Amino acid sequence: MDIIDLSENTKEDYLTCLEEWSDEMKDGVCRKECWYNNMREKGLRVKLARNDAGVVAGMIHYAPIEYSWVEGENLYFVYCIWVHGHKKGRGDLRKHGAGTILLRAAEDDVKNLQAKGLVVWGLLLPFFMRAGWFKKHGYRKADRNGISVLLWKTFTDDAIPPRWIRVKKKPETVPGKVVVTALANGWCSGINGMIERAKRICGEFGDKVIYREIDMTRQENVHEWGLSDGLFVDDKNIYQGPPLSFDKIHKIIEKKVRKL
């Protein structure tokens, strides 16, 4: 397993989160490419893990924490680290050390950039971005918000702990209408695809449904809402786990429309 930087030859791997076989993931590629083009000018770093067969097995991307949904100074923030684990496409490539060498490569890179530490987020539940996995690699808890844990590893003695930006706002409702509000950041193709599906679904219901989209690449919006991403139907955030399928979103919106 070796580490390579992102190139034109591997850009599709990155934009589809290694799931080029997934139509749902492809729904979000355009949004992620826009986010990438914007963020690479602000210090975004992308590294890929490639196995002995030349197959990209995993990826990590990180940027200065000032452009994230976390408060901190002179730190870098990991948006996600991902190793392909599906049977489809390139197959299950986990448990071969890709995640470990990706994280180590990011740490070494951030040290060379003279940052004071690397910040990650993890979940207390045993699936994507497990907090326990980061703890095994020397990361300490800095903050917690529900099942989401903010962890960090410091490279200097004067580093200041990062903190979550707490949720501050919910969308306004409109009498006689269903309001769908998408908080769109762009960093995750899975979330991007979910937002694209929600937007298409809203168009099916005509003037009964109002679709609104908030640009969460603007830091003032992140601080106003206290979120980076979200999909609200009226004042309820229906995105609480893996990105929702077309059918799931459609059922939720259709049920609300029937109650008008």
Dump pLDDT digits (tens) for 116-173: 999 999 998 877 889 999 999 999 999 999 889 999 999 999 999 999 998 889 999 9
At which of 139, 163, 187 does a domain end?
A: 163
Same-domain status, 12 and 102: yes
Q: Check if the beta carbon of residue 208 is closer than 8 Å to that of residue 56.
A: no
| Whole-angstrom distance, CA of residue 135 vs CA of residue 141 | 8
- Residue 238: the pLDDT is 95
Beta bridge pairs of residue 164: 70
| Residue 185 belongs to domain spanning | 178-258
| Whole-angstrom distance, CA of residue 122 vs CA of residue 231 | 20
Q: Quick check: is 170 in a domain?
A: no
- Residue 241: the pLDDT is 77
Same-domain status, 128 and 215: no
At which of 132, 163, 194 does a domain end?
A: 163
Radius of gyration of the chain (CA): 19
Same-domain status, 186 and 143: no
DSSP 142-211: EEEETTEEEEEEESSTTPPPPEEPPP---PPP-TTSEEEEEEE--S-HHHHHHHHHHHHHHHHTGGGEEE
- Eight-class DSSP state of 73: S
Torsion of CA 159, 140, 98, 4, to 10 degrees: -10
Structure pTM?
A: 0.93
The residues, any chain, with a CB within 8 Å of residue 236's CB and separated by 6 or more, are none
The CATH number covering residue 83 comes to 3.40.630.30
Q: Quick check: is 250 in a domain?
A: yes
Residue 46, helix vs strand vs coil = strand
Q: Quick check: is 168 in a domain?
A: no
Same-domain status, 159 and 192: no
Q: What percent of the chain is modeled with pLDDT above 90?
A: 88
Q: Quick check: is 133 in a domain?
A: yes
Dump pLDDT digits (tens) for 201-222: 999 999 999 999 999 999 999 9
Q: For residue 242, is pLDDT > 90?
A: no
Same-domain status, 203 and 141: no
Dump pLDDT digits (tens) for 39-73: 999 999 999 999 999 999 999 999 999 999 999 99
The CATH number covering residue 249 comes to 3.40.30.10
Residue 241, φ and ψ in degrees, nearest 5: -160, -140
- Residue 258: the pLDDT is 96
Q: For residue 26, is pLDDT > 90?
A: no
Same-domain status, 130 and 8: yes
| The residue type at 102 | L
- Residue 116: the pLDDT is 98
> Total structural domains in the chain?
2
Tell me the pLDDT of the chain averaged across its residues.
94
At which of 105, 138, 163 does a domain end?
A: 163
- Residue 24: the pLDDT is 85
Same-domain status, 186 and 107: no
Q: What percent of the chain is modeled with pLDDT above 70?
A: 100
Q: For residue 25, is pLDDT > 90?
A: no
- Residue 125: the pLDDT is 81
Q: Quick check: is 169 in a domain?
A: no
Same-domain status, 25 and 137: yes
